[in-house]
Amino acid sequence: MTIYDIARACDVSIATVSRVLNGSNKVRPLTRAKVLAAMRAQNYTPNPFARGLGLDSMKMVGILCTDIADAFFAKAVSLVEPTLRARGFDVILGCTGNDLEDKKKYLQLFLDKHVDAIVLIGSSYRETLDNSHLASAANKVPIITINCPITLPNVYSVVCDEASGFCASAQVLERQGCHSILYLYDRLTYSGQQKLQGFRDGLKKAGLQENPQLILMVDRTLDAAQSVVERLLAQKVHFDAILASEDIVAVGAQKALVARGLSLPVIGCNNSILASCSTPSLTSLDNRLEALCPAAISVLVDVLEGKGDMTPSLTTFAPFLVYRDSFKK
């Protein structure tokens, strides 16, 4: 019998059971009585050798991302995993892909492994219509999301304000004389929607008309982005700058320009290793992963130490442009 079993029996979170164990006054009397009754019924005794965080802790955290081969997720995991280990946690990593049923399967797998918390990386875990599976999981363990704002009890989000970053990027391009900006995006996840809306807001603030012909969805590969831009150039579609939702898309687009001997401003997003390795090197919006990931783990530890009531459910960082050869002010 563990704290997880008590939480399930009472249909409350482990954080609530922990507060009861620690005598916190943040628990409603009826809930406290329910938890204490379950403990008595199950002859539950907290294990003093497994209470490193004030509760029956496995000192294990589950991390989920959709695709570890992607530069964004690979970098995020490389930042999160050693930070957790430095805090004394073991880590289980799952790569779910984008299928909802696979996401649910991995969540349940982590719960069955009795992890202390779950970290979700990327906005693909925010479903458009129904996040009840996340609410159910968060009723058992805290969920920390990185760049995936979700408003649910026991879910804590650390995010980058990408909408403001793309709004500012569009305005920066306009101030440099660019009036026909080609916008390329790969998917309309929550993050993708925020980037696109930011771009549109930037056009309005800059006094530019939105041209649907210059807002295009492409596959998230170098070849796909290159092919789209080559097609536009062949069709003599006019554009004088490119803003892309991902570095890989921006680099592919830039390859098409270089092949034609053209030099236009190009801006990507993520400030990944691709940005510094491309030719010319790519100006990119830094979405602050190196700040988001440590902050997320600090939030996780605070929550597990019973400080959830004092921990903000949303922490936001501002992005910034890293200027390189593809576009300089």
CATH number at residue 8: 1.10.260.40
- The span from the CA of 170 to the CA of 208, in Å, is 10
Q: Is 57 left (phi over 0), alpha (psi -120 to 50) or beta?
A: beta
52 band by pLDDT with thresholds 50, 70 and 90: very low
Contacts of 206 (CB under 8 A, 6+ apart): 170, 171, 174, 175
66 and 92 fall within a common domain: yes
277 and 295 fall within a common domain: no
CB 15 within 8 A of CB 308: yes
84 and 222 fall within a common domain: no
- The span from the CA of 176 to the CA of 153, in Å, is 45
Domain membership flag for residue 90: yes
Give residue-wise pLDDT tens across range 258-303: 999 999 999 999 999 999 999 999 999 999 999 999 999 999 999 9
**Structural domains in the chain (count):** 3
325 band by pLDDT with thresholds 50, 70 and 90: very high
155 and 171 fall within a common domain: no
Domain membership flag for residue 108: yes
Domain membership flag for residue 203: yes
237 and 268 fall within a common domain: yes
| Sign for the pseudo-dihedral over CA of 181, 235, 247, 282 | negative
Domain membership flag for residue 325: no
264 and 214 fall within a common domain: yes
Give residue-wise pLDDT tens across range 179-231: 999 999 998 999 999 999 999 999 999 999 999 999 999 999 999 999 999 99
56 band by pLDDT with thresholds 50, 70 and 90: low
Length of the chain: 329
273 and 176 fall within a common domain: yes
Q: Is 207 left (phi over 0), alpha (psi -120 to 50) or beta?
A: left
224 and 298 fall within a common domain: no
- The span from the CA of 329 to the CA of 14, in Å, is 51
202 and 172 fall within a common domain: yes
314 and 259 fall within a common domain: no
Domain membership flag for residue 241: yes
What is the pTM assigned to this prediction?
0.82
Domain membership flag for residue 11: yes
Domain membership flag for residue 326: no
- DSSP codes, 54-114: SS----EEEEEES-TTSHHHHHHHHHHHHHHHHTT-EEEEEE--S-HHHHHHHHHHHHHTT
240 and 221 fall within a common domain: yes
* Cis-peptide into 280, omega within 30 deg: yes
- The span from the CA of 79 to the CA of 300, in Å, is 14
**What residue numbers bound the domain in which 36 lies?**
1-44+51-57
- The span from the CA of 149 to the CA of 315, in Å, is 9
Give the range among 47-56, 202-211, 300-309 with minimum mean pLDDT.
47-56
What pLDDT sits at residue 3?
77
Domain CATH for 212: 3.40.50.2300
Q: Which residues pair with 241 in a beta bridge?
A: 181
81 band by pLDDT with thresholds 50, 70 and 90: very high
**Residue 262: how many other CB atoms lie within 10 Å:** 11
What pLDDT sits at residue 6?
86
274 and 302 fall within a common domain: no
CA distances from 95 to 122, 125, 136, 190, 224 (A): 12, 12, 20, 19, 24
Q: Which residue has the higher pLDDT, 180 or 2?
A: 180
What pLDDT sits at residue 153?
93
Give residue-wise pLDDT tens across range 106-153: 999 999 888 999 999 999 999 988 999 999 999 989 999 999 999 999
Mean predicted lDDT score pLDDT of the chain: 92
